[in-house]
Amino acid sequence: MARTDSLIVAVLPIAVFATLAGGSMRAVDIDGMQAAIQAYRNGQYDLAEGLAQDLTENETDPVPRAWLILAEVRRHRGQYDRAAEAYRQYLASCDSARLRRSVRRRLQECEAPPPTTNNPSTPSERLTPSELAELAEVRDRIYTESSEHFIVRAPNPKVARLVTELAEDSLRRICGVILGGQAWPHTVEIYVWADREQFLKHAEDAPEYAGGSFTLRYTPDGIVRRIDLTQMDSDGTFDAAMLDRKLPHELAHLVIHEFFGESHCPLFLDEGLAMLAEAEVDHKRILLAGSALAAGDGGSLDRLFRSDRADLDDPEVFYAKSFSFVSFLHERMTQEQFRRFLEHVKAGSTIEDAIQRALRIPPDESFLPQLAAAWEDHAIAEAQYLRALDVGEGILE
Ligand SMILES: [Zn+2]
């Protein structure tokens, strides 16, 4: 997001929301987009194209997001040059890093059909089948590997080495998000247990359902930082999600909890940040958040801020919304603004106050409802595009 000038912001607080919302859509446009996407999904390409064209050409208020529908229709018809042009138009107005990544991949495919092999985006995707088979071996001794911040123990030397490398990568990313790029001069012990049974037997304070856990213990000798993970899945194969998700997720929790110390970190923020640290974006969460909000299950943003583990009606929807909101905020703030936001929350500000202070906007009572509307528009639109791109295929059933 562009840096905002505090004077302009003070005079025109509403303008900030247009930026924060990434240009919010009117209800009629959301309906128009929904109709175009539905037509596209029904295979009614002429209809989808016509509807999308109308939206992009609307004289008073064009909807640049409809370019994505045009691009998809053209790609389907094998009109790769025209599709590439539409993807470029769409990218020029797209403010979601996640979508830009997916759309750029589509653009590359159109520029060089037939498509080249996808660039592996997650650590586990970079592994060959023979490497995965090696990582699934459980030896009868424990191997130790260490690096600047980690001491890793696992019943397989390759697992120990890989987890050490990826833990350093994850820590760098997490410190960038949470600590504004500051160094983190501490050591974490990571235990990788062979399977769930071993994990539950040895991990400290492990909740029954988790595939990983973190512990932060304050002792007279200092702080003990520990993460417990599992090597194997329940089906006897190497647990790739351990590398892509569980390791960065638990590490993020650890850094967050130490950062907040005695202060309270709201649950949505704690989980949202931990999900943001994961190496792989779970599209299911984006789709779920979008569809829950589109179905009028917005609840209040205020309620999301105050939710506690004990009062979650639907934990999956809560996680999805937490991820959606925290990444919405993170994408729209500079690293410095985001760090300031976390500092204000830590100092006891409410979430809405912390955001306004971080953005250096004067307090305004209409801030929260406007923020909620901007986020809901964004989340609903983001889910729509993912659906249009069919990246959710296979997880929608
Ligand atoms: Zn978590």
pLDDT band at 186 (very low <50, low <70, confident <90, very high): very high
Ligand 1 centre to CA of 158 (Å) is 26
CA-based max dimension of the chain: 71
Q: Distances from the Cα of 47 to the Cαs of 87, 149, 387, 389, in angstroms?
A: 19, 56, 17, 17
Identify the top-confidence range among 154-163, 238-247, 333-342.
154-163
Query: Average pLDDT of 22-48?
Result: 71
Ligand 1 centre to CA of 198 (Å) is 21
The reported pLDDT for the residue numbered 113 is 59
Q: In this predicted model, which residue has the larger pLDDT, 95 or 206?
A: 95
The reported pLDDT for the residue numbered 27 is 65
pLDDT tens-place string over residues 283-297:
899 999 999 998 886
pLDDT > 70 in the chain, percent:
86
Ligand 1 centre to CA of 253 (Å) is 7
Read off the DSSP letter of residue 210: -
Say how far apart CA 14 and CA 19 lie, in whole Å.
Answer: 9
Assign domain 23-111 to a CATH class.
mainly alpha
List the CATH code of the domain at 129-260.
3.40.30.160
Average pLDDT score, the chain: 83
pLDDT > 90 in the chain, percent:
46
Ligand 1 centre to CA of 190 (Å) is 17
Ligand 1 centre to CA of 57 (Å) is 44
Cβ atoms of 248 and 173 within 8 Å: the answer is: yes
In the chain, what are the domain boundaries? 23-111, 129-260, 267-389
Write down the residue that tokens 């976390």 correspond to: 342
pLDDT band at 58 (very low <50, low <70, confident <90, very high): confident
The reported pLDDT for the residue numbered 13 is 34
List the CATH code of the domain at 267-389.
1.10.390
Task: For Cα atoms 189, 141, 158, give the angle at the middle one, nearest 5 degrees.
Answer: 65
Q: Distances from the Cα of 229 to the Cαs of 159, 165, 358, 373, in angstroms?
A: 11, 15, 35, 39
Amino acid present at 280: E
The reported pLDDT for the residue numbered 106 is 82
Ligand 1 centre to CA of 4 (Å) is 33
Ligand 1 centre to CA of 249 (Å) is 6
Ligand 1 centre to CA of 73 (Å) is 39
- In the predicted structure, residue 8 carries a pLDDT above the cut 50: no
Ligand 1 centre to CA of 251 (Å) is 10
352-357: Cβ within 8 A, 24+ apart: 352/305, 355/329
